[in-house]
Structure formats: structure tokens, C-alpha cells
């Protein structure tokens, strides 16, 4: 019987990133997908700044930035004319090395992840479907259907359900998936076209309760139209053709379609699974949460799930932590998923609300308010922080402790840079590490050395204060770069106690 450390079901972005991270950490993975080839349609477009920050650990960030398209501005249209232009090219300046909106279609993104996975000697097993599984104390025993139709029984220490919204893993676990389905039907179309909206920027039509956006793709005249339809057309979504919806884009945003490359309709649900873990089986990505694509959060959240789980699974499998560490995956990720689904639901409901009042808000008030809001750095910064996922944090959760400066245990480490350097540089290595901004004690230096815990001491500079970091003290960082401890003293016993309490032995790992 084949045996792997982790059996990953589903080679969408979530499964591929999990496989990459685990492979980098020396864990034996097997990744299967029931389809014969990777997806060829663009689907999710936005790669958020937080994803790019974390991609530095896999040396992927530069490749994504190079292959993708940086959006310079978002334009809002009313009655056939642009009314507001919101510059986006450096919208998060000073907050992250990736202070812009990056568009990189999901099919190209998946191909990049697959190529990178192959450098670790791992190939996605295609035409291989998970039919069911059971847990037998120390193992998962799974039944697979192989490309030749034969069945295989295989064994794994853990099962990762990255198998999308209709997840068989979730169904086998009998985990509830409460929520609802939007009455609108979404359509997506990749087109070759021309007109004023084909200038490499993002365009959003505020005219009607049905939503319409034109997203630029890399390449001259290439764009993605995303829209919704309701009324009687939504009841016959399967029969909806591009001709039925394209007239609106043509009328409202003066799009001249030259070629249609891909058109699809789909219904969107807003749901979060009741649990993200049952015993040795985990749910990640769309298998665990689905919501409106407005805001470009779905794929990025799945990738975030994968990174959160990867280091924990690797630690437990390599003897670097007790199995209780795995319970923190659900605690940390379900809280964010619930908040995200509630937020995207509120935004989407507002944007697509019907009635005279809603129309007035969109077509009169929004064009007036948006430029005002855009002119305030604080409102621009708030929007960027939220959408880019750099404010996502695990404050108040079991693995998070203390406060130093403006940084709490559970926060993303703030980015601080100036002519002398960048405090994110050491984060490329996915290991536990300690950062000190200012001075530390001899005891701390000796203790970290003795325990092989990387210690990075940065001479105090104004850039650290601007970023909200505390002087002296220390930050213990997890392998996924979130702050475990934010502490004002320089006593290494605080670290020793933390590791003891959580059953973590980070220095005795096999990788
Ligand atoms: C038409 C369309 C347009 C979209 N547009 C956007 C957008 O504009 N913005 C946005 O953020 N999101 C968008 N999404 C959603 C986005 O694509 C998902 O959030 C993202 O793909 C989730 O990644 P995932 O890896 O979790 O799941 P998926 O990408 O769904 O991957 C799951 C994989 O599991 C495999 N699988 C399923 N069951 C089994 C089994 N039993 N055995 C083996 N393999 C199995 C499937 O073949 C699939 O490859 C869109 C989705 C669709 C369908």
C-alpha cells in the first residue's frame, strides 16, 4: 500500500501551494486531481499583497509580479462616462513591498505553481479521484479511482481536502456548510476588444443594480468582463449566452468586442464549513469557504489556509511539535473566513441593491463621495490594508502573546524599510526566528545560539518607529511570519515557556 505523510486532494491553487510548502519543509506529499489537465480558464485574477509577501518564502513573488499585470487605477462609470479615477499604482506605499493591485489569471498562476512543484520532484497525479476515506487511529485509509478505472487503497498520516466547493472530503466528514446562494448569476468573459476601457486600468459600472466590471489582463486589448444578471434571465442561467449580456457593456462602457475567448456563468454561494478539521482530515480553500468574488479574496484566502496549515503539519510530522498544534489551524482560519464571508456579503448586497434609493446612492452619491474618500490617505490606506489582507491577524488566539510598540502577538510583522535595508529579508526562510529592533541582552544572544534559533538584531532606526515596531524587547516570529510573541523585555525564558506551553520543539526538526 502506498503511504505518504500528507495526501492532498485537489490541485487548484490551494492544494498546489500546500504541496509546495510541505515539499519545501521536507514532507512527503501525494497530490491528486480528478481532472485530466490543469484549468485553462482565468477565474480568480487578483493576487493580493499578503500572498506576494508570503510567496517570497518560495521564491515565487518576483515571477508572479513579472508575469502579471499591475493595475494603475480604478475608474467608476455612470451614464456612459467615467466619473471618478482612483489611482492604484502605489496605493499601499510604505506598507508592503507589493503596494499595488496585481492581476495574474488563475490558469497561468496554477501553471507556475505546477512547474515549481516539479522542481521538488512532485507531479500532480491526474485522472485520479478520491472516492472516500476513513480514519483508523494513526492513519487515513483512502480509496482512489486511478486513470485506468482501477481502485487503489492508500494510506496517509493526514488528508488535506483542497477539493473545491463540492468537496468529497467535507461530505465524507459530514461537516455542515451553512450559508446561502445569491439570486444573481455571475458571468465571466475573456475578450479581445477595444474602446476607452481598454487602457490597462480597472473599470466599474455603477449604473444599475447588476454589477459590471472590466479587468485588464496582460497583453494589448485583452480584458475580463465580470457581471451579474438577475430577473428572468438568471432563472435560465445555463442557457445564457454572451450575446444576452454583452449589449450592456457595449452601451454603458463603449466596449467594442473583437473576439470572445471564453464565456461562462456560475452561481455564487456564501458559506463557511462548520469545522475545518476532523481528526486527521482538514478542509482548505473553497472546500471550507465560498463567497462572492467581489474583492478578489477567494483564491488568496485558500492560499492563506494552505500556508497556515503547512508549517503546523510539517512540525508535527517531523517531531517538532505535539499534535495539539494542529487544533490552531481551525481556530485561526475559521475566524477569518467567517468575517470575510460576512464582509463580502455586505459589500456585494450594497453594490447590487435594487430600488430608487440604492440607484441614487450608486449613481449620485458614490461618484461624489469616492473622489473625496480617495483623496484622504487614511481612507485609501484602510481600503488597501483590508483588501490586500495585510491586516489579517490572529490576535487573542492561543498561539499569540503580548504587545510591543503597536504590534500585537498574532499580527503580521509590519514592513519597515529605508536606505539601509528591509526587515522582511530574513523572513524568506520559513523557520521560527527572533527579531530585535534596537538592543538585546547577552542572555538572549546566548540562548538563541544554544538553541539554534535564528536571532536578527537590527540597529534602531526611525523607519522601525514609523512601522509601529517597539524599541528593544523582541518579536518571536512563526515560520509563516506572523508574530507569536511581542515582548518588551529581553528575557529568553519567555520564549522557552511559550514553546513548552505549546508543545513545540522547533530546533529538533528533521528538515
Ligand atoms: C467561472 C469562475 C470564475 C471565478 N472568478 C473568480 C474571480 O474573479 N475572483 C475570485 O477571487 N475567485 C473567482 N473564482 C473562484 C476561484 O476560482 C476559487 O476561489 C479558487 O479556484 C479556489 O481554489 P481551490 O484550490 O480551493 O479550489 P478549486 O480551484 O476548485 O480546486 C479544487 C480541485 O479539486 C479537484 N477535485 C475535486 N474533487 C476531487 C476528488 N474527489 N478527487 C480528486 N480531485 C478532486 C478539482 O478537479 C479541482 O481541480 C471563480 C470561479 C469560477 C468557477
pLDDT at 163: 98
Taking a C-beta distance cutoff of 8 angstroms, is the pair 108, 39 a contact? no
Taking a C-beta distance cutoff of 8 angstroms, is the pair 451, 505 a contact? no
- Nearest residue CA, atom 35 of ligand 1? 10
Q: What structural domains does the chain harbor?
A: 3-68+104-177+273-344 (3.50.50.60), 69-96+180-270+354-384 (3.30.9.10), 401-502 (3.40.30)
Strand pairing partners for 486?
A: 475
Probe target for ligand 1 pocket from 11, 43, 188, with the most ligand atoms within 8 Å of CB: 43
Of 89, 78, 72, nearest to 368 by C-alpha is 78
**Index of the ligand 1 atom closest to the CA of residue 301:** 19
Probe target for ligand 1 pocket from 7, 8, 9, 10, with the most ligand atoms within 8 Å of CB: 10
Q: Which residues line ligand 1 (CB under 6 A)?
A: 9-15, 32-35, 43-45, 106, 129-130, 162-164, 168, 188, 226, 264, 266, 285-286, 293, 296, 298-299, 302
Listed as ranges, residues in the chain with pLDDT below 50 are 508-511
Taking a C-beta distance cutoff of 8 angstroms, is the pair 255, 187 a contact? no
Of 255, 241, 230, 210, nearest to 362 by C-alpha is 210
Distance from residue 12's CA to the centre of ligand 1 (Å):
6
β-strand pairing of 472-477 with 407-408: unpaired
Distance from residue 164's CA to the centre of ligand 1 (Å):
5
pLDDT at 211: 76
Q: Which three cell numbers stand for residue 375?
A: 483623496
Distance from residue 137's CA to the centre of ligand 1 (Å):
31
Angle at 174 between CA 173 and CA 178, to 5 degrees: 125
Distance from residue 232's CA to the centre of ligand 1 (Å):
27
Amino acid at each position: 500500500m502506498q503511504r505518504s505523510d500528507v495526501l492532498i486532494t485537489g490541485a487548484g491553487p490551494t492544494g498546489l501551494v500546500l504541496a509546495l510548502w510541505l515539499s519545501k519543509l521536507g514532507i512527503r506529499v501525494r497530490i491528486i486531481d480528478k481532472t485530466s489537465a490543469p484549468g485553462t480558464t482565468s477565474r480568480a485574477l487578483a493576487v493580493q499583497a499578503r500572498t506576494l509577501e508570503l510567496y517570497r518564502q518560495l521564491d515565487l513573488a518576483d515571477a508572479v509580479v513579472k508575469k502579471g499585470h499591475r493595475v494603475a487605477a480604478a475608474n467608476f462609470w455612470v451614464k456612459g462616462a467615467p466619473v471618478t479615477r482612483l489611482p492604484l499604482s502605489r496605493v499601499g506605499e510604505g506598507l508592503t513591498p507589493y503596494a499595488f493591485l496585481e492581476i495574474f489569471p488563475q490558469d497561468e498562476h496554477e501553471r507556475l505553481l505546477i512547474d515549481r512543484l516539479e522542481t521538488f520532484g512532485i507531479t500532480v497525479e491526474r485522472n485520479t479521484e478520491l472516492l472516500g476515506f476513513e480514519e483508523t487511529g494513526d492513519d487515513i485509509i483512502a480509496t482512489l479511482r486511478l486513470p485506468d478505472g482501477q481502485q487503489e487503497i492508500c494510506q496517509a498520516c493526514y488528508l488535506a481536502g483542497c477539493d473545491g466547493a463540492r468537496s468529497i472530503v467535507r461530505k465524507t466528514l459530514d461537516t455542515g456548510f451553512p450559508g446561502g446562494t445569491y439570486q444573481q448569476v455571475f458571468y465571466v468573459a475573456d475578450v479581445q476588444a477595444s474602446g476607452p476601457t481598454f487602457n490597462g486600468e480597472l473599470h466599474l459600472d455603477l449604473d444599475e443594480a447588476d454589477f459590471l466590471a472590466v479587468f485588464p489582463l496582460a497583453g494589448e486589448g485583452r480584458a475580463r468582463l465580470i457581471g451579474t444578471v438577475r430577473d428572468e434571465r438568471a432563472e435560465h442561467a445555463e442557457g445564457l449566452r454572451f450575446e444576452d449580456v454583452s449589449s450592456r457593456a457595449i452601451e454603458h462602457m463603449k466596449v467594442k468586442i473583437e473576439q470572445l475567448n471564453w464565456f461562462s456563468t456560475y452561481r455564487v454561494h456564501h458559506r463557511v464549513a462548520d469545522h475545518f478539521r476532523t481528526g486527521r482530515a482538514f478542509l482548505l480553500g473553497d472546500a471550507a469557504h465560498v463567497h462572492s468574488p467581489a474583492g478578489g479574496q477567494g483564491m488568496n484566502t485558500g492560499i492563506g489556509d494552505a500556508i497556515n496549515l503547512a508549517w503546523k503539519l510539517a512540525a508535527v510530522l517531523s517531531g517538532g511539535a505535539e499534535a495539539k498544534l494542529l487544533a490552531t489551524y481551525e481556530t485561526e482560519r475559521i475566524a477569518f473566513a467567517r468575517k470575510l464571508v460576512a464582509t463580502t456579503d455586505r459589500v456585494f448586497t450594497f453594490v447590487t441593491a435594487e430600488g430608487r434609493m440604492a440607484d441614487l446612492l450608486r449613481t449620485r452619491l458614490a461618484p461624489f463621495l469616492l473622489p473625496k474618500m480617495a483623496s484622504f490617505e487614511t481612507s485609501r490606506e484602510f481600503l488597501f490594508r483590508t483588501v490586500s489582507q495585510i491586516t489579517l491577524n490572529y490576535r487573542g488566539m492561543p498561539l499569540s502573546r503580548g504587545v510591543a510598540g503597536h504590534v500585537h502577538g498574532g499580527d503580521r510583522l509590519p514592513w519597515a524599510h529605508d536606505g539601509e535595508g528591509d526587515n522582511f529579508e530574513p523572513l524568506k526562510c520559513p523557520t521560527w526566528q527572533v527579531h530585535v529592533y534596537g538592543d538585546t541582552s547577552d542572555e538572549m544572544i546566548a540562548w538563541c545560539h544554544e538553541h539554534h534559533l535564528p536571532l536578527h538584531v537590527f540597529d534602531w532606526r526611525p523607519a522601525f518607529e514609523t512601522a509601529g515596531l517597539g524599541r528593544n524587547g523582541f518579536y518571536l516570529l512563526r515560520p509563516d511570519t506572523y508574530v507569536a510573541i511581542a515582548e518588551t523585555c529581553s528575557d529568553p525564558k519567555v520564549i522557552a515557556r511559550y514553546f513548552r506551553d505549546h508543545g513545540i520543539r522547533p530546533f529538533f526538526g528533521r528538515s
